[in-house]
Amino acid sequence: MGGSYSRNMANKRLIVCVQFPFTNRDYVRFGLQTILQKGFVVEVWDCTPLIYPDLASHFTPPDPFVGNLVRVFDTDHDLAVEVKTLSSSDVVWVEMGYRIRIWGFLRALSRTSAKWGMVHLGAVPAPVSQKVVTSRLRRLLRHPKNLKEHFFFRAPLSMLGIRPMDFILVGGTAARPSMGAFGPRTRWIGAHCFDFDQYLEVLPRPISRTDRYAVYHDEYTPYHPEFALEKININITPERFYSQLGRFFDDVERATDVRIVVAAHPRSDYSRTPNPFGGREIVRGQTAELVRDARFSIAHISTSQNFAFLFRKPIVHLMFREFVGGYYEDNILPYRQYTGKDPIFVDSADAVDWTSQLVVDSRGYQAFVDRFIESPDAEEIPLADIVIKNVLMA
């Protein structure tokens, strides 16, 4: 780059504030290595002990980031003291959502001259049935905490003492929030979801495996830490979940002449227990490549389905009887609009019309990409380059 580029980025610091323990996967997804290589200073402020104290004390990710980029904040006071040191050469990327728990942090941040913003890159199809709307209202009235959050999200920023964001990155038309911490001067930057970087990276590579297989998008369903934190009841025990899933996989393999390969969820840890998938191959950190070379995908609501939509792979959405009327059904059914297919139940694999299941609705898939994966005005370049060009150098 030219001299002006070097002068502008001198002492420029990007601070990423996170609410979950920072991992190697996060380091890659956020493009921090590229940003560091371009000469910027990068820090990660881990606020997990403040947002989810139970998680901070009881959960260790399988790939924790080891390095001097991360600073862990155990108290609001320590965080507030550090916020006061921010200057106009700092850019703060708030990866903690817009919520009442960080109100004090946002107020303090608003009193500084630092540029700040958020990213909305992981939108998924939202439940829209009347039943879901009614249940949401019921939850609001039943839990005062939810009601406070509801009003906080809709309150005028001036009343809250929050300065509108300087920037917001959005990936897809559905990722544009209608309410939040933005104002007339907030810059809306077209981007793409984190998975798109891996898609761009994997797309030109030669095929790595030629065996006939389908990929299961693991969600660590019975043990997912966020379910406990958000008090989401999935109504099924680990024993029943894995036993039913195993029988379903047996049926699928016989009916389609493929074998099932499991794309492990990044927060999963299968090292301490016997393989719960009946000894099937478990692969970690290669979901994009697995999906690209697979015959089809099997999923519930995993956001890694993005790869199936991008690579135009058939998606089989999988249901359990225990999911009916609950969180999973509410979030699986909206995908029908884009795949043109109903989900199938684990106990009915022998009655599945696999010919119709293994088709791709090209128009529906493209609509999904436009709404949830990539903004129409986004450049097809790595996310880090979008951040550098439109945030750090703007």
| Domains in the chain, CATH or no CATH each | 3-126+160-193+374-392 (3.40.50), 198-371 (3.40.50)
Q: What is the mean pLDDT of the chain?
A: 89
pLDDT at residue 3 greater than cutoff 50: no
pLDDT beyond 60 at 292: yes
Structure tokens belonging to residue 195: 């998975």
Q: How far apart are CA 330 and CA 147, in angstroms?
A: 21
Q: Is there a contact between 158 and 335 (Cβ–Cβ < 8 Å)?
A: no
280, 218 in Cβ contact below 8 A?
no
Percent of the chain with pLDDT over 70: 90
Q: Name the DSSP letter for residue 62.
A: S
The three-state secondary structure class of 259 is strand
Strand ranges across the sheet with 259-263: 282-283, 259-263, 213-217, 297-299, 315-319, 344-345
For the segment 216-269, what is each residue's pLDDT rounded down to a tens digit? 999 988 776 666 566 667 788 889 999 999 999 999 999 999 999 999 998 888
**Region 22-28 average pLDDT:** 93
Are residues 152 and 144 in contact, defined by beta-carbon separation less than 8 angstroms? no
Lowest mean pLDDT among 59-63, 132-136, 207-211, 244-248: 132-136
Task: Tell me what pLDDT residue 149 has.
Answer: 80
Q: Name the 3-class secondary structure at 41.
A: strand
Q: Is residue 9 a contact partner of residue 15, using CB atoms and an 8 Å limit?
A: no
This prediction's pTM: 0.83
Structure tokens at 339: 């795949």
The pLDDT value given to residue 6: 41
How far, in Å, CA of 372 to CA of 302, rounded?
Answer: 13
Question: For residue 124, which phi and psi values (nearest 5 degrees)?
Answer: -130, 160
For residue range 125-147, list pLDDT tens digits in order. 877 454 555 555 555 555 556 67
**For position 54, what pLDDT does the model report?**
81
Q: Is the pLDDT assigned to residue 363 strictly greater than 90?
A: yes
Better pLDDT: 1 or 240? 240
